Structure formats: structure tokens, C-alpha cells
Structure 1
């Protein structure tokens, strides 16, 4: 379904840019910073990521329900952006002193802090913009282009900042968070005349309705898919830069090539975000999710079996296709297969909560396996797991309602389909 970008569109891609600049910088270089500055080994770095995933399990269900209640109120998104401002000060002055006290303590504190902003906070940011897209009549993916641009900029800037001064990457995150806060306060506006398109939950959403989502079989199938595909995608990427550097004679050379590679990946992602809504409208959001799963499997197994860094780069560039597929498909799929009033709750539970359970488990397991059997063998196990889970989802994930998902226009004089809250 074609949508015309309203006058309230442009603030949202800039907000996406600011937030995902922080995301790309932290996830792209935190492992490297912990290795070179904090001198953490694979197991200790994995513990930090496990804590980020584990503690977000507390935040995500709460954030989902609160977001559905707040609807277009900005209290929670602004709180997340304000907390993100402290990323620079934390890594400059707090992380290393905590590490000297106890490595487990630093994992807990870092995990709590970053999971609030990133692992837990991402669903709040994403569902807010998705609902804004329904009210303001623009495609969510077109706003998410800002996040893709952020990935390109972050990989180009953060790599050089890291080589100049490792701590400076976190201060760049602080600057981005200040910009994000300003955008949320003064720029992002909602067309309230059309707010009902995103569901009026302010009075009708009660705890009984929220709890009813756990009876929906399709929620569990979607959650299993995310636990086995998207979660492994994240775990695979956590320490990927360490694996990539093994193909080079010097760490600096590997870091620089990694920077160019991720820039290329996010450039592909940026370009594909424009046609992806049209593509998903044609093939269906369920099919988009399944294709994403199989591409993820190919990328992981291909990286494990690559003989040279050139092949690793090739498979890494496939991620430029993965993210537009996933982001566009999941937003449309949840809108088309579940009750729109529970949008943020379903997104938080199936797309983030379940995913982070898997990340919590596999981050530590993968970190240990990297130290014991090496990256290649660990990646092979990951790829096989993604294949099996994607095959499962292909058979058991419910087909979405194309009209409700916004993939096709409703025929004239035809009532809007009822939101699905059963099976």
C-alpha cells in the first residue's frame, strides 16, 4: 500500500539516525574496546553481552506494556535518550575502576546500563516510530533509512575515532544522545487527527487483555523463530571483529578494513530500505521473515568456511540485505497477525524478550566456545541452528492478514478486518 510522506515525517529518520548511531558504535566497537582497553578475554566479554541480554528481560515486558499504555506520549522514549547521554562518562570514568574491583560487577553494571538504552530501549524507539508511521501515513522502513545511514556514518567515524582514542567512540554516542533528546522534545510530531490508525489504547487496554497474548500460539512460534534466527545473528556479530582480524597481519589493518566493510554493508542496507516496503507488500511479510532466516544461515556458514578475508567480506555484505528484510517484515507481520492494540507488547515479547533469552544464553556459550574450539567451528554450529529454526517457522508461522498489515489496500465498502487475538 503506497503512502505519501506527511509534513510530520522528517523528524523521525533523524531520530532513527541518532539512536542507531549509538547502537552501531557500541555493538561495532565495544568488544574491541573491552579487548584492547579493558583487556577482557572472550569469556569475560561474552559475560557483558549476556548481562545486557539477561537484564533486558526485565525491561522489555515492562517497556512493551508501558508503551502500549502511553501510545504517543514520549515519557519513556525521552527517558531512554537522556540515560544514553551518560555513555561517554560511564566508559571514560566508571568501567575500568569497576573492573579493578570485580569483573562480574562490571558485567552487571554495564549490562544494566546498556540494556536499558539498547537491548530494552530499542523496542520502545521502534514501536514509537512504527505507530507514528501509521498516524502520519508514511512507511516505517523509509524512516528506518536514517538508521541505515547511521550505520554507514558510525562505521566510518567510529573506526577512525577508535584508532585515534578508543574512549572517544563513547563520547560520540553521548553527542548523538543529546541530539536524539532534542529531536524527541522539539521535532517528532504526531498527526493526532489520525491517531486512531495506531489503536486507541489509552483507556481500553487492561492487564487481562495484555495477558491474553500468552494464549496465542502464533506468538510462541514467532518467539522461537527470533530465538533461533535473529538472536544468533546478534551473537554472531558480537565478537565478529575479533574473528575478522585473524585474517590480517596487524590489528590496525583489520580494524580499518572492518570499518570499510561495515560501511559497504550499511550502504547496501540504506539503498534497499527504499524498495523493501514494496517488495514485502508483494511477497508478504511472513515470506520476508523466512527469507531473512535462510540468508542469515548462509552468511554464518559462509563466514565459517571462508578461506580468505575477501570471502568473509562477501558474506558480511549479505547483512545489508538481511536487515531491511527483517525490519520491514516484522513491523508489517505483527500489524497483520496480532491485535494492533497490543503491538508494542507483542513486539517486545516476541521480537525482543524471547530473542534476548537466547542472546543471554548463547553469548556466554559462544564466548566459551570461541576460546575452546575456535570461531569457525562455533559458527558452523550457529549456522545449522539457524537453518533448523527457520525451517520450523516456515511450516508453523501463521500467514498474516495482508490488509491489516498494510500490504494491500482494503477493497472499497469492505469492513476493516478484525484484529486477530486468538490461535
Structure 2
């Protein structure tokens, strides 16, 4: 406990880093669909293609980003590049998107997909693993830093909705401002206790392709990847055009947008509050169980939305996401730490939790976009929810339990409270 207190000065920069990055994430994913519908005048299928391109192109980034992150460890070259790219979001949507769209709709999907996937779909694993490893070195819980990301969701929902109603393009300029803050934090604020770097896998000179390729021989890696492809990916696909579905319950689009903003704020308030006890809860129930519970909650939320008779019921099921996200975020970080070689942490996270997930998002975004236009939101949600149920049942019977000591769920009493740095590789 004393070590954590002594190193508390190394903690506070990271929640603000999470805040500035996830403000961009929450704003883009919360309001990009609405902007493309009302400003760019794209239909559901065309919007789905752009999200598919974001997912598909990120497949090129994620394996490279994962390996680079494991090599770079605490060097900030890659995270700074992503932060600087985020500064260009405002200029891109203000001056480039619509002119490119007028040339060719598919071209704008490629350009937008490449740009946003570099910052978001590809970049998120870089930011997350960097903070997770900093937590191992500085001895703080990742989930407590991630509260900054939850707070960003609250602020983005409150601010971005009003900015959109005032001037739709202003939401993208708010992302640019947040990216400037992120860049400054990375340069001047985030400090890592390098004396304890081995706790996070000091691999800059030892990681080779043979070690990296060993991941693909682990059955549990494939189980985790399939789970993400079927649960977390469909969670994202469900949310992509959710605001369009939600507005159908209201007489005017502006009224629906405003209520959506309040609802999203409520969800992120719940998420923020639950981030405080969630590391303790996951330490008690185990990170594998946390992932399984997350899968079933996701299915309940999707199927419940499909059957909701009024917007009040939609709000209720949407608020469940405030519980889902802390479950997922804390569980996956601890599960990978406790089930795989810590030297390959970023690579496993990028490949199983992002690369595999984006394959599914790439496929389902376009398919769901077409289904929304053809059979409606409710029927599409029944299909998506059913898939999540099946894939979660698959994970329930096949996903191996993590090592609780290596996951940081319990202390290693034989080592004086220390944690194993390199888990077995035969997971």
C-alpha cells in the first residue's frame, strides 16, 4: 500500500490522458452517424460502408501497432503520432469530407476510414496498453485511470449534443482541441517509474518474430478472439446507428437528439461511478467471469431494445451499457495479463481484442446498414442479439480461466506481494 501512496504522483496524468483521448472517441462515435445523415445526407447503407472501412483499414494498423507497442514499451513515438493526427479531425471534416464526397462516395469512405481508423480503431489499443503498462510500473489500477475515459463520455454527451445543434461541424473542432490537450499531456505530464519497468514487460531487446508468432499456436487466443468478434464487435455495430433508431420514437429530430444526449450522459455517469469498485469486483469474481457476464448483458441490451415499446424502455436498456463497459474494460486487461506472456501484452490485445473484433465490425457494419434499410432496426437487433447469445455460450464452455496472481487479482504471498512478470505461454 505504501508503494502506491509513494507513486501517486505518477498516477494523475493518466486519467487526463484517458479523458482527452476518449472525448474524441465518444464525440465521433456518438455523433458522426448523425452528422453524415443530416449534413452529408448519407443513407444507412452508405454510413455502414464508412464504418466498415474504418474497421477494415484498421486491420492493417492493429498488428503493426501491437508489435510496435511491445517493442517501444514506454517510448511515446507511436502514441504521440496518434495524438497529433487527432488534431487534424476538425480541418478534415470542415474542408475535406464533403469535397471528396462530391468526387466519389466510395473514395470518401476509404479516406475517412483510413484517417479515423488510424486514430480510433487502430489507435485505441496503443493508448490502452500504454496506460495499462504504466499502471503495472507505477502500481495503480488501470480501471481507476480509465475513469477519465468515462468522464469524457459524460462531458462529450453533454457538450457535443449542444455543439451539434448549434453548428454540426463544431463537434469535430472540439475533437481537435482535445487532441491538442492529449499531445501536451503525453509530452509533459505522463510519468512512468522506469525502475519498475520489468513489471510491465521490459521487452525492447528481447522480442522477436518467433515469440510473437507463438500467439497463434494458443487455443485460448482464438477463443478470446472469437468472443470479441461475436460480442464486443456486435456491441459496436449496434451502437453505430443507434441514434437514428432512437430518434424514431420522437416527433422531431432535435427533440430526439437532445434526449439522446441526456441518456448518453446518464450512461457514462453510471460507467464512471462503477469504474471505482470494478477492479475490486473483478478481483473477486475473476476476469473470465467478468467477460462472460459482459457478453450476456450485451445480448440483453440489444434484444431488449428490439422489443422496447417506448423510448423510456430504450433508455433503460441503453443505461445497461454503463455496467457493460466497466466490466469489459477491466476484465479484458486483467484477463490478458493473467492468461498470456506479459511481453506480448500489446500484441495479444491488438490482435484478439481489436484486430479480430474489427474483422467482425468490417463485415457486420455494412450488413447491418443494409438490414436497417431493408427490414428495420427491431428485426436487425433480434439477429444481432441472437448472435451475441450464441458466441457468449461458446466462450462460457471454452475460455480458460486466468491465473489470478498474474492477472493482479490476488497477491503472490510467496513473493512478498509481488506479481509474476511473465505468465506461462501455453494458455
What range describes the TM-score normalised by the shorter chain of this pair?
A: over 0.9
What's the counterpart of residue 398 of structure 2?
Answer: 396
Find the aligned partners of 2:245 and 2:329 in 1 and give their Cα distance.
Answer: 26
Find the aligned partners of 2:415 and 2:132 in 1 and give their Cα distance.
Answer: 27
1:2-44 deviation line (CA, Å, top 9, x unaligned): 9556211000000000000000000000000000000000000
- 2:140 corresponds, among 134, 138, 141, to 138
What's the counterpart of residue 159 of structure 2?
Answer: 157
Find the aligned partners of 2:228 and 2:4 in 1 and give their Cα distance.
Answer: 29
Distance 1:413 1:19, change over 3 A: closer
What's the counterpart of residue 68 of structure 2?
Answer: 66
1:326-370 deviation line (CA, Å, top 9, x unaligned): 000000000000000000000000000000000000000000000
What's the counterpart of residue 90 of structure 1?
Answer: 92
* Structure 1 residue 416 displacement after superposition: 5.8
What's the counterpart of residue 348 of structure 2?
Answer: 346
What's the counterpart of residue 26 of structure 1?
Answer: 28
What's the counterpart of residue 35 of structure 1?
Answer: 37
Distance 1:413 1:152, change over 3 A: closer
Find the aligned partners of 1:336 and 1:293 in 2 and give their Cα distance.
Answer: 20
* Preserved contact between residue 335 and residue 402 of structure 2 (Cα < 8 Å): yes
Alignment of 1:197-276 (within 5 A): 197-276=199-278
Find the aligned partners of 1:416 and 1:190 in 2 and give their Cα distance.
Answer: 18
What's the counterpart of residue 283 of structure 2?
Answer: 281
What's the counterpart of residue 301 of structure 2?
Answer: 299
1:367-391 deviation line (CA, Å, top 9, x unaligned): 0000000000000000000000001
Alignment of 1:187-202 (within 5 A): 187-202=189-204
Residue 419, structure 1, aligned to residue 427, structure 2: no
Find the aligned partners of 2:50 and 2:419 in 1 and give their Cα distance.
Answer: 46
Find the aligned partners of 1:110 and 1:205 in 2 and give their Cα distance.
Answer: 33
Find the aligned partners of 1:341 and 1:183 in 2 and give their Cα distance.
Answer: 26
- 1:105 corresponds, among 97, 104, 107, to 107
What's the counterpart of residue 174 of structure 1?
Answer: 176
1:95-126 deviation line (CA, Å, top 9, x unaligned): 00000001000000000000000000000000
Question: Which secondary structure state, in structure 1, belongs to the residue aligned with residue 151 of structure 2?
Answer: helix
Find the aligned partners of 1:48 and 1:202 in 2 and give their Cα distance.
Answer: 36
* Preserved contact between residue 408 and residue 419 of structure 2 (Cα < 8 Å): no
1:201-259 deviation line (CA, Å, top 9, x unaligned): 01110111011111111000000000000000000000000000000000000000000
Find the aligned partners of 1:199 and 1:173 in 2 and give their Cα distance.
Answer: 32
Find the aligned partners of 2:424 and 2:353 in 1 and give their Cα distance.
Answer: 18
* Structure 1 residue 397 displacement after superposition: 0.5
* Structure 1 residue 412 displacement after superposition: 2.7
1:268-311 deviation line (CA, Å, top 9, x unaligned): 00000000000000000000000000000000000000000000
What's the counterpart of residue 409 of structure 1?
Answer: 411
Find the aligned partners of 1:395 and 1:333 in 2 and give their Cα distance.
Answer: 16
C-alpha RMSD of matched pairs (Å): 1.2
> Segments of 4+ in structure 1 off by > 6 A?
none
Question: Which secondary structure state, in structure 1, belongs to the residue aligned with residue 192 of structure 2?
Answer: coil
Find the aligned partners of 2:296 and 2:327 in 1 and give their Cα distance.
Answer: 11
* Structure 1 residue 422 displacement after superposition: 1.6
What's the counterpart of residue 374 of structure 1?
Answer: 376
* Preserved contact between residue 3 and residue 139 of structure 1 (Cα < 8 Å): no
Find the aligned partners of 1:6 and 1:220 in 2 and give their Cα distance.
Answer: 37
* Structure 1 residue 411 displacement after superposition: 1.5
Question: Which secondary structure state, in structure 2, belongs to the residue aligned with residue 404 of structure 1?
Answer: coil
* Preserved contact between residue 62 and residue 350 of structure 2 (Cα < 8 Å): yes
Question: Which secondary structure state, in structure 1, belongs to the residue aligned with residue 91 of structure 2?
Answer: helix
Find the aligned partners of 2:399 and 2:391 in 1 and give their Cα distance.
Answer: 11
Structure 1 unaligned runs (5+)? none
After superposing the two structures, state which structure 1 stretch, 409-418 or 29-38, moved more. 409-418
Find the aligned partners of 1:216 and 1:344 in 2 and give their Cα distance.
Answer: 16
